Amino acid sequence: MANLFKANLLRKSYKVSNNPFKERHLEVLKGASFSINPGQTLAVVGESGSGKSTLARLLVGAEKPDSGQLFFNGENILEDKKFPWYKEIRMVFQNPRTSFNPRATIAQILAEPLLNAKNDNRIQIQQKIRQALELVGLRSEYAERYPHTFSGGQRQRIAIARALMLNPKVIVADEPVSALDVSVQAQIINLLLDLQEELQLAYVFISHDLGLVQHFSDKVLVMHKGVQEEYGPVNQVFSQPQSPYTQKLLAASAGYKKAVKD
């Protein structure tokens, strides 16, 4: 049986010089590979500049890799020009304040993916907006309000609702709780866990919080300067790290130490 979502040796570089006589490229992702199934969470960890955000952009189709393969239900979607990236694989950003149109109501923000898909009439769209808000623990009347009237945690709930509007199978979450207070972080993580169980979602969870990763994830991918240092079940990697970089990362993480002690 094929994995739901699988990457094989994804690589990505960017041009850093426009000199026509001496073109230079910087390789920021040097062969990332993983697989996840419905209901599983893959955490991607590493310091800034490790290639985590580049990997996220490749996974949601915002950019294309220089080489490698990306499979969805056994099909290489990099070769399928009609693959509905916008529907099957959605993104939740670190700070929804920057990804929301401040002049749009929540209803307009949530309706945008549905309008782009052109599959629903007005009544269906309104119904799905109400259902999505209720799914993330918000009242349906919030739909007519504007983003600035909500707290950070409420905005992140709205961002999650927007990601769910087209019933995706995979959610790529790029540091989705790092901008929130600790108490609110726990609420959002519990919401994500509940949604995962209810909808059998697969998460690619990008984070620097190793204590959270240990609690939240099934697998972990450790990256350093674009190189995949380690990959495997989170308990195995964290209890018996093979890479010196992973050992250093764990040793420096107070959250991880506390999680192990507890």
- Name all domains of the chain by residue range, CATH numbers in brackets: 5-261 (3.40.50.300)
Tens-of-pLDDT digits for all 262 residues of the chain? 578 999 999 999 998 777 666 778 889 999 999 999 999 999 999 988 899 999 999 999 999 999 999 999 999 999 998 999 989 999 998 887 787 888 999 999 999 988 887 777 889 999 999 999 999 999 999 999 999 999 999 999 999 999 999 999 999 999 998 878 888 999 999 999 999 999 999 999 999 889 889 988 999 999 999 999 999 999 999 999 999 999 999 988 756 654 444 4
Q: What is the C-alpha separation between 201 and 238, in angstroms, rounded?
A: 24
Is the Cα dihedral 62, 218, 245, 259 positive or negative? Answer: positive
Query: Tokens 């929804």 map to which residue?
Result: 96
Instruction: Please give the model's pTM, rounded to 2 decimal places.
Output: 0.91
CA dist 255 and 250 (Å) reads 9
Instruction: Measure the CA angle with vertex 259, ends 244 and 226; round to 5°.
Output: 35
Please state, in angstroms and rounded to a whole number, the distance separating the CA atoms of residues 200 and 226.
30
The pLDDT value given to residue 256: 60
Q: What ranges in the chain are assigned the alpha helix state H? A: 52-59, 85-88, 96-99, 106-117, 122-135, 152-164, 182-199, 210-216, 234-239, 244-251, 254-261
Q: What is the DSSP string of 82-137?
A: T--HHHHEEEE-S-HHHHS-TTS-HHHHHHHHHHHHT---HHHHHHHHHHHHHHTT
